[in-house]
Amino acid sequence: MYTRYKYSARSVILWTRYQIILFLIWGIAYTVAYEIFDLQWLRISWTPIGLVGTAVAFLIGFQSNSAYGRIWEARKIWGGIVNASRTWTILVKDVVSNEHATKGEELSERELAQNKTTLVHRHIAWMTALRYAMRQHKSWEIAKKHKTNKEWGLAIPELEEDFEGELRKVLSEEELVYVMSKTNKAATLLSLQSKHIRELKEKGIIWDFSFLELENVLKELMALQGKSERIKNFPYPRQFATIADDFVKIFVFFVPFGVIPEFSKIGLSLTNDYPLIAPYFVWVGVIMSSVISWVFHTMQRIGTVGENPFEGGANDVPISTMARAIEIDLREMLDEENIPAPRKELEPWHVQL
């Protein structure tokens, strides 16, 4: 546990090292102007700066809470997909049978197994289509463009693997062509699922009550898809994000104007008791102003990287890993042999080093 938190602190410092250097340079430049060039008029009372800092803190807190809410909702949605996927497979395995089949419409055991496999594989195709849709780039998704965010080098399967090739693994060629011709491929696959079970119901292969249960699962999956699409397609309101960013920059700019003169005063008060330290005590203000600026900037940036939970960043919902885990579960329920290996779990940036 100690190692985890030790690495967390180091990672945050590395993640924001360019800003730390910038804050130190700005603090040093101000101190040189204030002390060495004796520009004593370059000072502002800490009271107005503190009032601005309080307002900025509230704004950053609102942004961080909103970003966390989006991530947490996205995680709950995909948690619901996990549960609904397992429910779908269990029902398909148990309700697709000849028990209530119309006379002459009975299927062989091989045909029953084929129908079950098709329904489950089509569901895997639905998860594939949904996760690829969630990885499509939006104009407001810019967190990964930041220089230090790029350094984590996360491999996003949806950006490296061919979408059509992934669907071809679980769909027939006819269905693949049909699905690829549609705009919303995930919704199309759920429509095919509904059509398939209705056909089986008409033959009596699926009992009427069981058909309704399967339709309810499809209804739940469609609702979860819609919720996931809502988060993906509706960004965090840019007016809040822009104002927060601008206010933090303004606050950071004026922090040395209030902090460093105060430390200069403390240095003068130490002249009699600590004559060796007093002339240099003002430089402690450089460190303190940098720390204050770094804390506000880092909190604001953490809120920014959490705004889009499907963008593909280190702190996003790991839908690629989750989808593969679900696929493994479903294939094992069907007693299949060629089961894909789990994807390597990606830890968030604050514990990755």
Residues 25-47 have pLDDT tens digits of 999 999 999 998 988 888 999 88
Q: Considering the chain, what is the average pLDDT of its residues? A: 89
Q: How many other CB atoms are found less than 10 A from the CB of residue 207?
A: 17
Average pLDDT in the 310-337 region?
91
The predicted-structure confidence for 4-16, as pLDDT tens digits, reads as follows 334 467 778 888 8
Q: How many other CB atoms are found less than 10 A from the CB of residue 109?
A: 9
Q: Residue 276 has which token pair?
A: 């060796």
Amino acid 153: pLDDT: 56
Amino acid 156: pLDDT: 83
* pLDDT > 70 fraction of the chain, expressed in percent and rounded: 91
Question: How many Cα atoms within 13 Å fall on the side-chain side of residue 62?
Answer: 14
121 close to 223: Cβ distance less than 8 angstroms: no
Q: What single letter denotes the amino acid at residue 179?
A: V
Amino acid 344: pLDDT: 67
Phi, psi of 249, rounded to the nearest 5 degrees = -65, -40
pLDDT above 50: residue 349? no
Q: What single letter denotes the amino acid at residue 122?
A: R
Higher pLDDT residue, 334 or 9?
334
Higher pLDDT residue, 152 or 348?
152
User: Ranked by mean pLDDT, which of 12-26, 62-76, 205-219, 310-324 comes out on top?
Assistant: 205-219
Question: How many Cα atoms within 13 Å fall on the side-chain side of residue 73?
Answer: 18
The predicted-structure confidence for 61-99, as pLDDT tens digits, reads as follows 988 898 899 999 999 999 999 999 999 999 999 999 998
pLDDT above 70: residue 198? yes
The predicted-structure confidence for 166-176, as pLDDT tens digits, reads as follows 999 999 999 99
**CA–CA gap between residue 347 and residue 154 (Å, rounded):** 10
**CA–CA gap between residue 323 and residue 329 (Å, rounded):** 10
328 close to 340: Cβ distance less than 8 angstroms: yes
Q: What single letter denotes the amino acid at residue 72?
A: W
By C-alpha distance, which of 350, 316, 351, 348 is closest to 141?
316
- Please state the pTM of the whole predicted model: 0.85
The H or E element containing residue 104 is none
Q: How many other CB atoms are found less than 10 A from the CB of residue 277?
A: 12
pLDDT band per the 50, 70, 90 thresholds, residue 3: very low
Q: What single letter denotes the amino acid at residue 305?
A: V
pLDDT band per the 50, 70, 90 thresholds, residue 100: confident
Q: How many other CB atoms are found less than 10 A from the CB of residue 17?
A: 11
